[in-house]
Amino acid sequence: MEAERINWGPSNGYEIQDYQLSPSSWNRYEECPRKYWLSRQGLPKKIGMPIVIGNAVHNSVEEICNIEISDRNPSEKDWLPKLSSEILSNHWQLQKDIFFATSRRSGWKKKSYTKAKEGLDKALLMLLSQAKITDIDLPEITIGMWNKVRDIILANEGTLNSECGKLMGRLDLLLKDVDEQDNEIGWIVVDLKTGRPPKDSLSKTVNRQLRFYRDLLILINPNHPPIRTEGWYTSNQTMHEATGSSVTEDAFGAWQSIELTENPFQATPNEFSCGFCEWKAWCPKWLLAIHDDTLKRHKTFNDEVVTLINFDEEVGMASFKIMVPDGIDGELRDSEKSFGAFLSNQPLDQLRELQNNGYEGPLFLGSTRIDGEIRHMGDWSEILPWNPLIKSIR
Ligand code: SF4
C-alpha cells in the first residue's frame, strides 16, 4: 500500500478545531438541528445489529487488506476463505462485547453473522473485480491474485482533515483507478455500504457524503490525479458513482452553523427525522408535535410519555398513565388515558433498574406495539427517564 503518497491533512499534534463537520454530522444537522445538538451532549447512544454488521465487515476488510502475504507462494489457493472467516469471527466477537456493554441496545440476532459473512465475501469480490479478477470463487483466489488487489489499494481506513481542521472524513478505501492495460489513471474513493442499496441512483445525502470525501481529498492534495468516488453496496454487489459539483464551499458554511450553543438548536419535527430519532427522551418538541398533529400517531407502534401506575416485575406486566404536554419545555400533565403492557427483555430490565434506583418521575416508552387494548414491549423497545434537555450539559 502507498498511503504515504496521500496527504491526510493535519493529525496528531495539530490543533484540530473544537468541533468538526463530517458528512454524518452535516446530514444529522440538516435532518433536524436539535437532533444534531442532542447527539453532541454525551448522552447514551443506541446500538443495533446494522451497526454491528457494518463495523464487523469494515474492520475485517481493513485487517485482510493489511495482512502481509508477499513472501508466500503466488500459486497458493484455498487460503482466503479460511483467513477471512477467522478474521470476521474475531471482529464479530469484539462487536458482540461492545454490544452487550452498551446500555441502550436492540435484541442480539445471532443469525446476523450470516449477513456479515455474505457482506464480507461480497466486499472481497468487489475488490477483486476492481483489480480485474472476475468470475472466480474465493477458494480459487491465489496469493498472486491477491497481491494484484493489494497493488491497487492506496489506503484503507484513514481519517482526512482539512488544513484548517474544520472538515473531517473517514475513508474506507482509496484505490488506484486503472485502465485496461493496468496503467494508473487516477484515484477512486470507495465507501463500503452494508445497508440497503439504492433502487436506482444514490440518494442525495449519500451522493453528497461521497463528494465530501472526494472534495476534502482534493483540498489537501492539490496535485491530485483525477478522482472518482463510489459507494459499494455489499448486499447486491453494486457500485454507484457519485457525481456533481464541489461541496466544499457549502461544507464550510455548514461548519459555521453547527457550533454548539448553550441553548438547544431549533427542532424541526417531521415523520422522517423523528421516525428513527434516538433522542426523543430528551426532546420535548416531538411530544408537542404529536399533540398538535404535526406528527401522526401510528396504528401499530407508538412512543409515549407516561407515569407508572403498577408494575409486576415477576410477571413482566405494567400499567401506565399517558402524559400530555403542559408547556413548551417538556412539562407534563395527566391525561385520562392509560394502558397495560407486557414487558420482556431490555424494557423489562430497564424498568426494574429504574425502580431499584428509586426513580419515580415520568418515563419515555420507545416503540410500544399496540395490540387492541394492550401493548407489548420487547427487544425493539426501550424505557428511559423522560428528561427534556433545555440547556447544554457538555
Ligand atoms: S425527536 Fe424529532 S424534533 Fe426531536 S430531535 Fe429528534 S428529530 Fe428533532
Q: In whole angstroms, what is the distance from residue 52 CA to residue 318 CA?
A: 31
Every domain of the chain with CATH number 2.40.50 lies at 271-385
389 lines ligand 1 (CB under 6 A): no
Q: In whole angstroms, what is the distance from residue 17 CA to residue 32 CA?
A: 23
Every domain of the chain with CATH number 3.90.320 lies at 3-255
pLDDT tens-place string over residues 48-78: 999 999 999 999 999 999 999 989 999 999 9
**Mean pLDDT for the chain?**
95
pLDDT tens-place string over residues 214-272: 999 999 999 999 999 999 999 999 999 999 999 999 999 999 999 999 999 999 999 99
**HSE-up (13 A, CA, CB side) for residue 26:** 27
**Rounded distance from Cα 321 to ligand 1 centre (Å):** 23
Q: What is the DSSP letter of 138?
A: G
Closest of 34, 67, 20, 28 to residue 266, by C-alpha: 34
Reading the block at residue 314, the C-alpha cell is 415477576
Residue 196 sits at the vertex; the CA angle it makes with 53 and 272, to the nearest 5 degrees, is 105
**C-beta of residue 172 within 8 angstroms of C-beta of residue 23:** no
Give me the percent of the chain exceeding a pLDDT of 90.
91
**Rounded distance from Cα 111 to ligand 1 centre (Å):** 32
Could you tell me the pTM of the whole model?
Answer: 0.93
Closest of 216, 149, 246, 255 to residue 7, by C-alpha: 216
**Rounded distance from Cα 32 to ligand 1 centre (Å):** 6
Q: With 70 as the cut, is the pLDDT of residue 19 above it?
A: yes
Q: Which of 28, 29, 30, 32 for a ligand 1 pocket mutation test, highest count of atoms within 8 Å of Cβ?
A: 32
Residue nearest to atom 3 of ligand 1 (CA): 269
279 lines ligand 1 (CB under 6 A): yes
**Rounded distance from Cα 82 to ligand 1 centre (Å):** 45
Q: Which CATH number describes the domain made up of 3-255?
A: 3.90.320
Q: With 80 as the cut, is the pLDDT of residue 1 above it?
A: no
Q: Which of 27, 268, 285, 389 for a ligand 1 pocket mutation test, highest count of atoms within 8 Å of Cβ?
A: 285
**C-beta of residue 156 within 8 angstroms of C-beta of residue 172:** yes
Q: Tell me the average pLDDT across 103-118.
A: 96
**Rounded distance from Cα 144 to ligand 1 centre (Å):** 52
Residue 303: strand, helix, or coil: strand
269 lines ligand 1 (CB under 6 A): yes
Q: In whole angstroms, what is the distance from residue 186 CA to residue 314 CA?
A: 64
Residue 279 alpha carbon, nearest atom of ligand 1: 6
Q: What is the pLDDT of residue 18?
A: 77
Residue nearest to atom 7 of ligand 1 (CA): 274
If one compares 299 and 290, the residue with the highest pLDDT of the two is 290
The CATH fold of domain 271-385: OB fold (Dihydrolipoamide Acetyltransferase, E2P) (2.40.50)
pLDDT band per the 50, 70, 90 thresholds, residue 131: very high
**Rounded distance from Cα 312 to ligand 1 centre (Å):** 32
pLDDT tens-place string over residues 136-195: 999 999 999 999 999 999 999 889 999 999 999 999 999 999 998 889 999 999 999 999
Q: What is the pLDDT of residue 74?
A: 96
Alpha-carbon distances of 45 from 58, 103, 167, 280, 295, rounded to whole Å: 20, 8, 23, 12, 24
Residue 283 alpha carbon, nearest atom of ligand 1: 4
